[in-house]
Amino acid sequence: MAEGPHRFGPHPIIGRFACSPSPGERAEIEALAAEIRRADPGLDATEVFGAGVTTGLADWPTLHIHTVDKPLQGGSPVMREHRALLLARDDDMAVIARPSSDFVRYCRDDLGLGRVEVLVPSSWRHRGRLAVRVLQDETLCRRVARLAGIAGGLNVVPYQATGGVWALASRIHRLAGVPVHVGAPPPNLAAAVNNKIWFSTWVARLLGNRALPPTTSASSWAHLADRVRRLAHRNGRVGIKLPSAAGSAGNLVLDSKEILAFTSLRDLRAHLREIFLGLGWTEPFPTLVSVWEDSVLRSPSLQGWIPHPDEGPPILEGVFDQSVTGPTGRFVGCAPTSLPKDVQDRIAAEGARILLLFQHLGWYGRCSLDTILIGDAFDSADLHWVECNGRWGGTSIPMTLVNRLTGNWAHRPFVTVGGLFPEGGQHFGELLRDARSRLFDRDVGRGLVLLSPGPRETGTGFMALWIGGSIEEARVELARYLNDVNRRQRLHPRGPFQPRLHPRRGPRDRRSPAG
């Protein structure tokens, strides 16, 4: 896989691993991709959006739109929308429904990321679906089309590829009469790869069943009750996952003793239905069912970028340790991994095969893969692939931002933390004022970076990272900052979580991460 720096549109991409599948593995990947295409011929279809709308990125202005089409994507829409500013540069545009003027100024002036035009759609229908709201705003569409026409083309970079995003790109193309590139995969392929059932099915075919926790799926209440009980007989806990939910947002973990207490499948079925309705999961099927692993040593995430085939193979940008909390493994932060090199190389080698398969299917753009290491020691641990994040997220955005701020995150390691919930809640301007002496200094290459507006704007909390000379320095300084905020604002996370800035050390911590 390609090492060294690359640039795709506004994004600096730096490869870390030089691993390439063998000729035999490549042949297997090509055959599997052909089989998947035969089963779903429209997987990479984009013709309906017009010949002038294609995947890719060019040297044009970029419209950043961090929208989702479905619920259970996790996180705050306000937080997600504003993170688009961390990827934007001079002459770009970002769609934000309720922009925080303080955060916009911070990204422009303090971080020096560029002068970005913030677009606010007028329509309040389809709340949370920014692409649809922009489509309904004729004035805004024509504004974007005019700028695209002047530049001779436009990039559209979404949080995640959706039909709405591609429809918006098509609309701009028709209005402007210039090519529009979408820096993301075709919408059908994006939906498939982000689906946990689809992902587990084809990863098992590619790498073997041992590459996953024991996993199955259920298509009805009766089927679900049967699958859950079968797994409960052989394992301590069972995980149920809504396949299209992001991260832990659609996870449910059940103790096997609770499951086996029901002697009747009918009673277990009624119990599961009651739990699902309480969670608001009214249309849960098909549902993924798997063992919820014990003895989790670490939960690494492999960050990748998939270019067009003629631009080279997938680029592996790094392995990161994820911090998770709670019974369902909610993501709360990340840092560059401290895993031994041979373990990182193993993750990279298997991940390269998965990403190459996606490239053969027509994928373009950001893609990360979540794993867990199971066992008593790293050198003998089982590596399980649990989820694909075919979108921008809580690791890839900070990683790319640190590349922008420092030139190379590997030379300036960072630690992130999020999910902090003040009792009173602060506006971003207050957070910024209180943190002024700690803020990132470009000349020094160290300091605090705030990644979202304040809790008062987001309604959920805020995210931050610290860039340091070492990972340990970043952890220590970020912890000091959080302790100071605690003292001033009585800051507390939702539930029992206390910010953990260190990854798992070993099998004592047996909670399985989001998957």
pLDDT at 69: 60
* Residue ranges of domains in the chain: 52-184, 214-291, 296-319+338-493
- The residue that leads in pLDDT, 361 or 419, is 361
pLDDT at 494: 44
pLDDT at 420: 62
Residue 282 has pLDDT above 90, yes or no: no
Q: Are 202 and 209 in contact, with CB atoms under 8 Å apart?
A: no
pLDDT at 323: 84
Lowest mean pLDDT among 74-83, 274-283, 429-438, 462-471: 74-83
Q: Is 186 helix (H, G, I), strand (E, B) or coil?
A: coil
Residue 77 has pLDDT above 90, yes or no: no
Torsion over CA of 409, 412, 415 and 420, rounded to 10 degrees?
-90
pLDDT at 129: 83
Q: Which residues make Cβ contacts (< 8 Å) with residue 432, sequence separation at least 6?
A: 102, 106, 110, 439, 450
CATH fold group of domain 52-184: Rossmann fold (3.40.50)
Q: What is the CATH number of domain 214-291?
A: 3.30.1490.20
Q: 374 forms bridges with which residues in the sheet?
A: 296, 382
pLDDT at 513: 41
Task: Please give the radius of gyration of the chain, using alpha carbons only, rounded to the nearest integer.
Answer: 22
pLDDT at 150: 98
Q: What is the CATH number of domain 296-319+338-493?
A: 3.30.470.20
pLDDT at 444: 93
pLDDT tens digit sequence for 193-242? 999 999 999 999 999 999 999 999 999 999 999 999 999 999 999 999 99
The DSSP code for 273 is H
Handedness of CA 32, 38, 42, 45 (dihedral sign): positive
- The residue that leads in pLDDT, 94 or 463, is 94
Handedness of CA 99, 100, 102, 103 (dihedral sign): negative
Mean pLDDT across 439-454: 93
pLDDT at 459: 63
CA distances from 402 to 8, 136, 413, 446, 465 (A): 16, 35, 9, 10, 10
pLDDT tens digit sequence for 368-422? 999 999 999 999 999 999 999 999 999 999 999 999 999 999 999 999 988 665 5
Q: Are 405 and 393 in contact, with CB atoms under 8 Å apart?
A: no
> How would you label 383-417 residue by residue, b for 16+ Cβ within 10 Å and e otherwise?
bbbbbbbbbbbbbbbbbbbbbbbbeebeebbbbbb
pLDDT at 421: 58
- CA atoms of 202 and 193, how far apart (whole Å): 10
- CA atoms of 455 and 478, how far apart (whole Å): 18
State pTM to two decimals.
Answer: 0.92
CA distances from 419 to 27, 74, 112, 223, 436 (A): 44, 11, 25, 35, 21
Q: Which residues make Cβ contacts (< 8 Å) with residue 80, sequence separation at least 6?
A: 66, 68, 73, 159
Residue 428 has pLDDT above 90, yes or no: no
